[in-house]
Structure 1
Amino acid sequence: MNKPQSHQLIILAFFVSFSLTNLVVSARVFPNVSSWLPDHAPPRGAWDAFRNLTGCHLGDNYDGLANLKSYFERFGYISHAPPSNFSDQFDDALESAIKTYQKNFNLNVTGFLDDSTLQQIVLPRCGVADIINGTSTMNAGKQNETASSSKPRFHTVAHYTLFPGMPRWPEGTEELTYAFNPGNSLSETVKGVFAAAFARWAEVTSLKFRETASYFSADIRIGFFSGDHGDGEPFDGSLGTLAHAFSPTNGRFHLDADEDWVVSGDVTQSALSTAVDLESVAVHEIGHLLGLGHSSVEEAVMFPTISSRRKKVVLAQDDIQGIQYLYGTNPNYNGSSATSAPERDSSDGSNSSPWSVFTLLTFSYLYFTLL
């Protein structure tokens, strides 16, 4: 068998590396809300079918309750169990989950599926759970923390919450770098939205944020993904879980590529019922990256849900108190809402093609294995 020639290896490396960087699907990012045709239909989200469960209560057996149990299991309200084990019986575990959910979201604690509870459940939301290791991060955690002393507790001060064990970036950290998955090929306009989101947190704390082109060495790694993308937290299409991020110092920040993301214009005036404001979601998820859990204060950016066609980017006092508890106060912060975009680092190859690293790695592998 003839060995491949060097020029053949180079061509092969190019196509393999190009394919690797395109495993991530392109995000549905719209530069301006005016780019859509009118759409006056109500949004049809991933959980819209739950609306059919209105009025269900303890003792009922109704088609769809098993799926609702899976929803509550996903966000920590029901103990982990294979979805196939869930029945359509409205049992004690479901009633308990509903009561805790209602308390967390400032609803009347009835234990049954009234209109206001289901209207909250079907809203788009962050994929981070409200209850972790049996401990609620929200209202229920203030009066009824986990009974087991062996499990980590959420530290609750005021209404904001922190992750179990209070993870944060190391003491003395002054700057965090962030980078974008090169497979997404995001425009400068989209990157600017994230810069603005980081700036809102930098304004009130001692932390600074800087974009870098070095994706694999960045402190925070941002990417758009579809469906099951390998981290155990699959996305579910339009208006389900919008994004999720991991607590310090993991640094992973993932967004659902199948959402209709808006990067400019007045999202509240969008004709598209499924329009989601990118900066609003980015500000929320950065809070998780820095160590904040979910808040029960509806005005806070760390509240778990956000409606489509809504912009929510200004940090509430609850958000500010929480992040300053972790990292201290920016000495220049005067309580105003003005923000400026952090500097971007182009000294480490930001002008190079997004697949150059993969090309080198792939070529090296092919060269030494095939020659």
Structure 2
Amino acid sequence: MAVTGGLTDTVLRADLPSREASMSSIQERLDEILTQRGYIVLGKPKSQLPTSGEENHDPIRDFQKFYSLPETGQFDEETKAVLFASRCGVPDPRRSTKWFAEATRWQKRNLTISIENSVPGVPIEHIRSLVEHAAAVWNEAAKGRFSIAPQIAGGDIKVSFQSGYHGDAWPFSGPEGVLAHAFHAKFPEGALAGQIHFDLSESWSFTEHCPPTSKDFLSVAIHEVGHSLGLDHIGAKKSVMYSNYNGVQRQLFDFDYHLISNLYSS
């Protein structure tokens, strides 16, 4: 018994560094995603992975509240599924709606949109037609408050496919994870204002019927154009501004009409 116990203790002690490394890796990944999503601000104390009996931690609880998850403060399976889903790379809102509306919407109301490049094997004209469709969805919802017209190049809203590090502070990391990101009209780094970047490494579908192994480009384009107009993420799935990829969603929900009308109400 003594030998067996000693052997067990030795095995557990030998395994401890690997288990600690695994926990450290999970912690680093959690911090990374919470930072990307806007729940940890760089320069402030990092999160601590909650364990049973520990005090709930605010970043996780804030995330759960935004997405209407049970506010346990714990990194549970339901939270993990939402947190690590394929998504838009724009952080979730950490400011008031009034401030956001004043700070991000376009002052000009006649906008242009252009396609800067394409993907191998897909004609740029086809990409352009899909992006114009995405713009038309918002044009219809705007009811004359603004318009988005196609332009060959150099539009107010510039759409491009990028990979890895591509000239901004938000590199793409490969398939799944972050699918795309966009920058509103008043983005502090002025050269990025109005830009929309799609991850070139994703398996995109540009067809009417999107296979389950791909991401529907038009659905994501509608979401990203919403960001470029100044809309923020919504924590409810019944909005095209829900941050996680929600399958094929090519029409606005009632709440989306409400959001864009409020943003461009004056």
TM interval, short-chain normalised:
0.7 to 0.9
The CA deviation string for residues 80-123 of structure 1, in whole angstroms up to 9 with x for no partner, is 149xx968754889821111111111100011122211111121
Q: Secondary structure at the match of 1:306?
A: coil
1:245 equivalent in structure 2? 182
> Which residue, 236, 254, 261 being the options, matches 2:204?
261
User: In the alignment, does 2:60 pair up with 1:105?
Assistant: no
Mapped to 2, the partners of 1:258 and 1:104 lie a distance apart of 29
Q: Could you tell me how far 1:322 is from its partner in structure 2?
A: 1.1
1:68 correspondence with 2:30: yes
Alignment match of 2:100 (pick from 163, 169, 174): 163
How many Å separate the matches in 1 of 2:82 and 2:212?
A: 22
Residue of structure 2 equivalent to 1:214? 153
Partner residue of 2:76 out of 114, 117, 126: 114
**Is the contact made by 1:295 and 1:304 (CA closer than 8 Å) also made in structure 2?**
yes
| Equivalent position of 1:305 in the other structure | 244
CA contact (8 A) 1:66 1:88 kept: no
1:182-204 deviation digits (Å, cap 9, x = unpaired): 47684322211111111100001
Is the contact between residue 34 and residue 40 of structure 2 (CA under 8 Å) also seen in structure 1?
yes
SS in 1 for 2:181: strand
Q: 1:262 to 1:96 in 2, by over 3 A?
A: same
Which residue in the other structure is 2:164 paired with? 227
Question: Is it true that 1:191 corresponds to 2:133 in the alignment?
Answer: no
Post-superposition offset of 1:214: 3.0
What is the letter of the counterpart of residue 111 of structure 1?
G
- Output the amino acid matched with 1:279: L
The equivalent residue for 2:42 is 80
Task: Tell whether the 8 Å contact from 1:69 to 1:94 is kept in structure 2 after alignment.
Answer: no
- Cα displacement (A) at 1:155: 1.4
Amino acid at match of 1:155: T
* Residues 287/119 of structure 1: CA separation in 2 closer, same or farther (3 Å cut): same
Q: C-alpha displacement at 1:288, in angstroms?
A: 0.9
Q: Matched residue of 1:204: which SS?
A: helix
SS in 1 for 2:171: coil
Instruction: Give the residue type in structure 1 aligned to 2:81.
Output: Q
**Aligned counterparts, 1:83-94, within 5 A:** 90=50
Show CA shifts across 1:141-193 (max 9, x none): xxxxxxxxxxxx4216xxxxx737442111xx342111111476843222111
Aligned pair partner of 2:261 in 315, 319, 324: 324
RMSD of aligned Cα (Å):
2.7
TM-score when normalising by structure 1: 0.57
Identity %: 30
**Structure 1, gaps ≥5 residues long:** 1-59, 136-152, 157-161, 330-371
Report Cα offsets for 1:1-53 as digits up to 9, x if no partner: xxxxxxxxxxxxxxxxxxxxxxxxxxxxxxxxxxxxxxxxxxxxxxxxxxxxx
- Matched residue, 1:277: 216
Classify the secondary structure of the residue corresponding to 1:296.
Answer: coil
- The letter for the 1-side match of 2:96 is F
CA displacement at 1:77 relative to structure 2: 0.8
Change (3 A) 1:284 1:271: closer
TM-score by length of 2: 0.79
Q: Which has the larger radius of gyration?
A: 1
CA distance 1:191–1:99, change in 2 (3 Å): same
Partner of 1:176: 111
One-letter amino acid of the structure 2 residue matched with residue 127 of structure 1: G
Residue type of the partner of 1:300? S
Asked whether the equivalents of residues 50 and 75 of structure 2 are also in contact (C-alpha less than 8 Å), the reply is no
Letter in 2 for 1:199: A
Distance 1:176 1:87 in 2: 41
Please give the alpha-carbon distance, in whole angstroms, between the structure 1 residues aligned to 2:25 and 2:118.
41
